[in-house]
Amino acid sequence: MLTFIVRRGLWTVLVMFAITALVFVIFFKTPGIDPVRLIAGRNPSPQNLAEIRHQFGLDRPFPVQYALMMKQLFITRDLVSYSNQGTLVIPEIFAAAPATLSLVFGAAIIWVVVAIAMGVGAAVLRGTVLDPLLMILALIGISMPVFWLGQVANLITQSRFHDTFLFSWVPPLGYTSLSQNPVRWFEGLVIPWVTLSILYIGLYARVLRANLIEVQNEDFIRTARAKGLTERRVLLRHTLRNSMITFVSLFGLDFGVLVGGGALLTEVVFGIHGVGFLTYQSLTNLDLPVIMATVIYGAFFIVLANTLVDITYAWLDPRVRLA
């Protein structure tokens, strides 16, 4: 187990290095691109341009440029946004993180609970009309673009049915922090939570159903039945538990992706000022330092989540760690 963790840890470090290098190459070394002008934002002054050239060491050799960027991102944390009048980028990202975390945590709870119910329900009801019906619902959930679903939700809850008893409690779009007003925080996030979770409910319910049906044919399930266990116990303690291995590892990966900025479409459509929204804003202003920083921070988070998932997986399943 320890060798596995060390090996996996080394790979993680390598991947993180490679990702920063890749981002660096994309932003600074793409042929035909002048990074100084990109970073400077719109209508830069010559003074700004000179400042940037010096700050990023663009007049110096390649490895120095890379090292300087890493220093500004991780050590001194003084990367400055030029199109946004000298805002410090890294503190801005950390200030946006709670909104993203609130959104993703809530959605994750919903999607895990509903997906398990739907997956188990479909597997148990196999042979009835309800199974294909549930699976078609899941497929529709997978096929909807999340930002469009968010617009439809907004149209219903903010405009067309806002004045009815159904949705009169929905506050205007935006994010209220938990410490400021817990009730408002909850009310404002309910619709985004549901919207974000629908895609994952569809994905997870399908995966879980397929896994459950596959595990049901294993020998140990026959043994469990032969021991005289009730069907409910066989399902919950034996079948479901085994099927959850894939479920849990998928969950770890998706959760990492969402916290690392993958929820940006949901954040944009609901006006939740999280990390993803920050990325979007910087996209529309072409604020390159912010895009770069959010991309690297997001990627780091996801790589870290992957590592944790792999280690948990190896801990659960010895075959993986010995491979």
- 281 burial (CB, 10 Å; 0-12 / 13-18 / 19+) is middle
Give the residue among 140, 253, 155, 265 at the shortest CA–CA distance from 199.
Answer: 140
String of DSSP letters for 133-161: HHHHHHHHHHHS-HHHHHHHHHIIIIIIT
Q: Which residues of 113-142 are buried (b: 16+ CB within 10 A; e: fewer)?
A: ebbbebbbebbbeeeeeebeebbeebeebe
Closer CB to another protein, residue 118 or residue 185?
118
Q: Which residues pair with 81 in a beta bridge?
A: 87
- The CB-of-266 to another protein minimum distance in angstroms stands at 11
CA distance 105 to 272: 14
Contacting positions for another protein (CB under 8 A)? 15, 18-19, 22-23, 26-27, 30-33, 38, 139-140, 142-149, 151-152, 154-155, 158-159, 210, 213-214, 217, 257, 260-262, 264-265, 268-269, 279-280, 283-284, 286, 288, 291-292, 294-295, 298-299, 302-303, 306
Closer CB to another protein, residue 23 or residue 116?
23
- The CB-of-122 to another protein minimum distance in angstroms stands at 12
- The CB-of-175 to another protein minimum distance in angstroms stands at 18
- The CB-of-92 to another protein minimum distance in angstroms stands at 17
Q: H or E stretch including 88?
A: strand 87-88
- The CB-of-277 to another protein minimum distance in angstroms stands at 11
Closer CB to another protein, residue 185 or residue 309?
309
Closer CB to another protein, residue 188 or residue 202?
202
- The CB-of-295 to another protein minimum distance in angstroms stands at 5
Token readout for 153 is: 């939700």
Closer CB to another protein, residue 185 or residue 206?
206
CA distance 187 to 189: 5
